[in-house]
Chains A and B, each alone.
Chain A
Amino acid sequence: MTGRARLAFGVLAFGYAFLYLPIALVIIYSFNESRLVTVWSGFSLKWWHALFANEAMLEAAWLSLRIALVSATGAALLGLAAGYALARAPRFPGRTLFGSLVVAPMVMPEVVMGISMLLLFVGSERLFGGPDRGFLTIVVAHTTFSIAFVAIVVQARLTDFDRALEEAAMDLGATPWVTFRTVTLPLIAPAVGSGWLLAFTLSLDDLILTQFVAGAQSQTLPMRVYSSVRLGVDPQINVLATIVVTVAACALILSGWLTRRKV
């Protein structure tokens, strides 16, 4: 190895260490025997057992999972429609405004979104007597926030899409709806799928927005973790982090694979 190559390799190794060492440490310490988070005293699965016996934590995890599934699905459907409209619909009044509104949640500070959502739900409670803050309001907030991510991948995919494919389908006798179902949708499905996964991960670990719209009764996983950390850290957090990292990594790898896959 030449000096230059050795230097390049060193920089690369440092970069990887910087990015992944903290995560690796969390995973390793989840198998720690000690009650102290930062002192290694031997291999043990006891914190894994402790976590799986922790009712409150499991309940929060189950709530987060349900919210993520529903809001990712809602965001995928609405994002698909929004992306399709932006890429395909001829000029319509307010198109530019619509385009900016769709992506606004990506750039708007979450605190601002949280406050506006809270005002909306408080107002609706006053006017219509509902919905109660909890599962439903969190789902609505997460869906609104994630639409942008699906819309953008769908729109990008449709922009590279050869319009002649849709014209060919119609020329061969497919109505616009059949064309969408048999040609457009199968070809952009990877983009919708990767958007869904992105929305799923975003929902799963959102804390700020959720704080605003969650009621007193519903605590999502990130909220539960955050409050338990304030009371003092317990190695169960490491176990939980390991599980979340694994799920998120799988989702991201799958999303990347779906986006790259040639159809």
Chain B
Amino acid sequence: MNSGPIVRIEGLTRRFGPIVAVDRVDLEIARGELFALLGGSGCGKTTLLRMLAGFETPDEGRLFIDGQDMTDVPPYRRPVNMMFQSYALFPHMDVAANVGYGLRRDGVKAAEIAERVAEILTLVHLQDHAKRKPSQLSGGQRQRVALARALVKRPKLLLLDEPLAALDRKLREGTRFEMVRLQEQLGLTFVMVTHDQEEAMSMATRLAVMNAGRIAQIGTPHEVYEHPVSRFVADFIGIANIIARDGGGWMALRPEKIALSAERPGLPRTIAGRIVDVAYEGDRSLYHVETDAHGTMTVSTTNTSRSAGAAFARGQPVWLGWADESGQRLEA
């Protein structure tokens, strides 16, 4: 068995007419990673995922899976399975037939198919639903059938296209933990596409932020959040105040790294301002503070006490303060 990266992409490019959807992307994904491709719509993340699955043929570049060149291999001969955003469950087959479909294509014996289907359905807690049709399942159950169907062939690589987008918010949070648990338990490599930065941050071991067909930054969620390399990344992940640095260039300062007080604080950097907007979010409050030095800045405070409302009112003069190391210098 090869011990190199499970996925190696070299200069991969895909054009649709005049549009370059994926532009000379280089990427390596290690075994056992839960890797997220994160970006807004049209950034090329889905096209990149579809090239990994084999549904799109790259115009340039090579794609290796487990050391083998897969660039021109059709989807049905790749050791890769995908979970679709719409789940794409076959409506004319029951849950067991859906999950067993891939094994039947491989000519696995009926007894073994039944065994492996039962095993994977137990893993996703659907052992009692094997005879149901997809139309008789809830959204969350369908999602788990789609996951089971993609996992049952034990692919070298599991691709997930917006795996949680169709679920409601409450269910999504529980499912996140469940998917991370499955990934660790099975020791597989997951590559998922998402537009939801919270989802990418909380699930991924590493993520790639994409913009206009290119990878803007690759790193762990912590690296990408605390050490963004560009204004685009700083702005895309969470909220960032992008302010001019003394020596030229730019710096990103997260709202929670700024201290907000009525009196001038004893911090290396302080500026005066006035609150122009307050957004109370329950666990925290967000303030828009008008400053002379840097325009409108966003600052957050954690609401640790249960006293009514936010600590500062609209129109109130305040001081902002931060330490030099609180901000991240941006390269671009």
Interface positions of A (Cβ within 8 A of B): 162, 164-165, 167-175, 178, 182-183, 186-187, 262-263
**CB of A172 to closest CB in B, whole Å:** 3
Residues B84 and A263 in contact, CB atoms below 8 Å apart:
no
* Given contact pairs A162-B86, A164-B86, A262-B135, A171 touches B76 in the complex (Cβ within 8 A): yes
**CB of A28 to closest CB in B, whole Å:** 44
Residues A167 and B75 in contact, CB atoms below 8 Å apart:
yes
Residue of B nearest to A163 (CB): B88
A263 to B149, CA, bound (A): 20
* Given contact pairs A165-B90, A187-B92, A172 touches B84 in the complex (Cβ within 8 A): no
* Given contact pairs A164-B84, A170-B75, A183 touches B90 in the complex (Cβ within 8 A): yes
**CB of B15 to closest CB in A, whole Å:** 16
Q: What residues of A have a CB within 8 angstroms of the CB of B53 in the complex?
A: 167, 171
Residues B102 and A172 in contact, CB atoms below 8 Å apart:
yes
Interface positions of B (Cβ within 8 A of A): 53-55, 74-77, 80-82, 84-86, 88-92, 101-102, 105-106, 135, 149-150, 153
Q: What residues of B have a CB within 8 angstroms of the CB of A182 in the complex?
A: 101
A186 to B150, CA, bound (A): 22
Residues B84 and A167 in contact, CB atoms below 8 Å apart:
yes
Residues B105 and A173 in contact, CB atoms below 8 Å apart:
yes
Known contacts A168-B82, A171-B82, A173-B106, then 10 further A-B pairs from the complex at CB < 8 Å, ordered by chain A residue: A162-B88, A167-B75, A169-B90, A170-B54, A170-B75, A172-B102, A172-B149, A174-B105, A187-B91, A263-B92
Q: What residues of A have a CB within 8 angstroms of the CB of B82 in the complex?
A: 167-168, 171
Residues A172 and B86 in contact, CB atoms below 8 Å apart:
no
19 A–B contacts, CB within 8 A, in A order: A162-B86, A164-B86, A164-B88, A168-B82, A168-B90, A168-B149, A169-B90, A170-B74, A170-B75, A171-B54, A171-B75, A171-B80, A171-B81, A172-B76, A172-B101, A172-B153, A173-B77, A175-B76, A178-B105
The binding surface of chain A is classed by DSSP as helix
A262 to B91, CA, bound (A): 9
Residues A169 and B101 in contact, CB atoms below 8 Å apart:
yes
A174 to B75, CA, bound (A): 9
**CB of B242 to closest CB in A, whole Å:** 39
Q: What residues of A have a CB within 8 angstroms of the CB of B135 in the complex?
A: 262
Q: Which of B86, B90, B135, B150 has the most CB of A within 10 A?
A: B90
Q: What residues of B have a CB within 8 angstroms of the CB of A174 in the complex?
A: 76, 101, 105
The 7 closest A-B pairs by CB, nearest first: A172-B102, A173-B105, A164-B88, A168-B88, A170-B75, A164-B84, A170-B76
Q: What residues of B have a CB within 8 angstroms of the CB of A187 in the complex?
A: 91-92
From B55, B91, B106, B149, contact of A167 by CB (8 A): B55
* Given contact pairs A172-B81, A173-B153, A262-B135, A167 touches B88 in the complex (Cβ within 8 A): yes
